Amino acid sequence: MTRCAFIIDHALPPGLVANTAAALSMTLGKLRPDLVGCDLQDADGIGHPGITTIVMPILVSDAEGLRALHRQAADREAEGLGVVGMTDIAQRARSYDDYSRRLAATRQEDLRYLGLCLHGPAALVRSLTGSLPLLK
């Protein structure tokens, strides 16, 4: 069974929380189209594009917790865990080219994660996120 969890820096203002979750969701949809259901129709025959077929909790951590979680998750990728990160570099970039240049010039240890999306085997995702609180 596949599980997904978004972990967002609780210090972010609401707009950046929403933006971070949205950006991570788009990348997840690109990487895992199998997690998006088929298009549907309502009783009036109006079409509705498919949405996620799994629960996607939004959890919170602090900046250091996100950094540590990213390291832990990256070490588990060989076990089928997928990791998507949203950094402050991405959030501040004026274009994708700007993001590409800034990211290429930044060492891993200097990245500040605003949010992560972990996806993969349910037990593995839970083992890394089970103690984190839900966004409220």
- The secondary structure element, H or E, covering residue 125 is helix 122-129
- Three-state DSSP state, 70: helix
Superfamily, domain 2-129: Bit1 (3.40.1490.10)
Residues in the chain: 136
Residue 77 pLDDT class (50, 70, 90 cuts): very high
Structure tokens at 136: 């409220």
CB atoms within 10 A of CB 22: 10
What ranges do the domains of the chain cover?
Answer: 2-129
Q: What is the pLDDT of residues 120-136, one digit of tens each?
A: 999 999 999 999 999 99
Give the pLDDT score at 35. Answer: 95
b/e for 36-63, b at 16 or more Cβ within 10 A? eeeeeeeeeeeeeeeeeeeebebbbbee
**47: amino acid identity, one letter:** G
Give the pLDDT score at 131. Answer: 96
Nearest to 122 by CA among 33, 50, 55: 55
Residue 97 pLDDT class (50, 70, 90 cuts): very high
Q: What is the pLDDT of residues 9-66, one digit of tens each?
A: 999 999 999 999 999 999 999 999 999 999 999 999 999 999 999 999 999 999 999 9
Give the pLDDT score at 108. Answer: 92
Q: Give the rounded distance of the alpha carbon of 98 from its chain centre.
A: 21
CB 28 within 8 A of CB 125: no
